[in-house]
Amino acid sequence: MTTPRIAHRAILRLAVPALGTLAIDPVLTLIDTAFVARVGVDELAALGVDTAILGFAFFGFNFLAYATTPLVAQALGRGNPGEARRWVGDALLLAAGLGVLAAAILELLAPWFVGLMGAGEGVAEAAVSYLRIRAIATPAVLIVTAAHGAFRGHQDTRTPLLVAVGINVINLVFDPLLIFVAGLGLEGAALGTVIAQWAGAAWFLILVRRRRLADRPGPLRQAIPTILSLARSGMLVAIRTGFLLAGLTIAAATATRLGPSEIAAHQVVMQVWLLAAMVADAFAIAAQAMVGAAVGSGDSLRIHRLSSRLLAWGVATGVLLLAVFALGAPALELLVEDPEVAALTISAAAVAGWMMPVGAPLFVADGIFFGLLAFGTIILSTAVGAVVLITLITATPLGETLDGIWWGISAMLAARGLVFVFAYRRAVGVALRS
């Protein structure tokens, strides 16, 4: 029997490198931003437009990691490495196919996507050029995403961290060479990122082959069942994401109607909140892999004990983040110059801090339910949360202040958590019978 100390060490062994990977990924865009800022205002604006487009596009393919991780983990938990290799091989095949399709769409419709963002003529021209170059790396990005899921399913989060560091180092080297030495400007930044992302994809594929994590895909007709299963999971994850984005988008729109100071403060608090949530997401990644393996083993007691320990880390993380928000609130004044915006930011951040002891374990619970492959419950939880948030900020006085909007977001998290509490045992039973 695994002792609590060993179990907690196993959780940290997965969560800590996962946190490093989550923290490093945004650096790729930050590096581009730092160098492009020295090129010109229009170029920096174009980068902002393209970052939003690409972020939205790639977010829709996160299922390649979220679904692959528990599927591989469950196969390994059943003692069936051949099944795990098939999942990985077909996930990589699907990633490559979707990547080529997405790249073609971005290349063809780049002017239309940029136009939707309302960019001016000078900015639009630069944005289209950058987007078309970055589109070349779309298959690489999706391969990397699927590979993350494969290694996480094998309870290895150190290798993805190593590759993520390598991608950023390559980008850091090529960006100044192409932007300034070669004189390519914004297009050089795009090309540097493309080189880095394809290098990362190639690195992952080499590692997958060396460690024999994937079977070479056979005839397409043999791969269709697993590809369709992955696609179904992707559709369910997309529905869940749609409900989440709907709630948060309406919250932002409500803040916008309150005035420019409120929406400015809301954006600052939202970015800080998302950064804090990243810590809990690291434990959610550990949950996907570990709970998936426990489901594969068919041991319900192991699942319950593991879930309890993961949630304990979520609660501890939430309390820690509450303390960080309380102690670091004055530092938020450094992020904004306007006194009114600063005051609104500090006040709303206090509300965001109070929600962390609820939010952090909820984010971990997301990982647990992903490990159970309980996509229906995850969708229901997110839908209920979105309805609660939208109702509170549109039909009650909470929508009349920025603090009220953030209390509405807190209620959304609490409602989602209640759904998980009531659905947990049924979800475990379904996972063990499937």
Domain boundaries, the chain: 4-217, 236-433
Give percent helix, percent strand, percent coil of the chain, each to the nearest 5.
Answer: 90, 0, 10
Q: Which burial class, exposed, middle or buried, applies to 376 when counting CB atoms under 10 A from its CB (0-12, 13-18, 19+)?
A: middle
95 touches 311 (CB < 8 A): no
CB atoms within 10 A of CB 384: 16
393 touches 251 (CB < 8 A): yes
pLDDT in tens, the chain (434 residues): 567 788 889 999 999 999 989 887 776 666 777 788 888 888 888 888 888 788 878 877 888 999 999 999 999 999 999 999 999 999 999 999 999 999 999 999 999 999 887 777 778 899 999 999 999 999 999 999 999 999 999 999 999 999 999 999 999 999 999 999 999 999 999 999 999 999 999 999 999 999 999 987 666 677 778 788 888 888 898 899 889 989 988 998 899 899 888 888 888 888 788 888 889 999 999 999 999 999 999 999 999 999 999 999 999 999 999 999 888 777 776 666 678 888 898 999 999 999 999 999 999 999 999 999 999 999 999 999 999 999 999 999 999 999 999 999 999 999 999 999 999 999 999 999 97
And the tokens for 58? Answer: 């790639």
Helices in 177-259 by DSSP H: which ranges? 186-210, 220-258
Write down the pLDDT at residue 342: 85
And the tokens for 420? Answer: 């998980």
E strand or H helix that includes residue 177: none
- The Cα-based distances of 151 to 69, 161, 196 in angstroms read 8, 11, 20
3-state DSSP assignment of residue 397: helix
- How far from the centroid of its chain's Cα atoms is residue 67's Cα? 13
User: What phi and psi values does residue 101 have, to the nearest 5 degrees?
Assistant: -65, -45
Q: Please name which of 253, 19, 278, 28 lies closest in space to residue 141, comparing C-alpha atoms.
A: 28
C-alpha–C-alpha distance, residues 192 and 246, integer Å: 34
Contacts of 57 (CB under 8 A, 6+ apart): 102, 106
410 touches 351 (CB < 8 A): yes
Instruction: Spell out the long-range contacts of 221-226 with Cβ–Cβ below 8 A and sequence spacing 24 or more.
Output: 223/89, 223/90, 223/93, 226/86, 226/87, 226/90
DSSP code for 40: -
- The Cα-based distances of 130 to 184, 194, 342 in angstroms read 11, 11, 34
Amino acid in position 349? A
Write down the pLDDT at residue 323: 93
And the tokens for 129? Answer: 């050029």
Write down the pLDDT at residue 241: 87
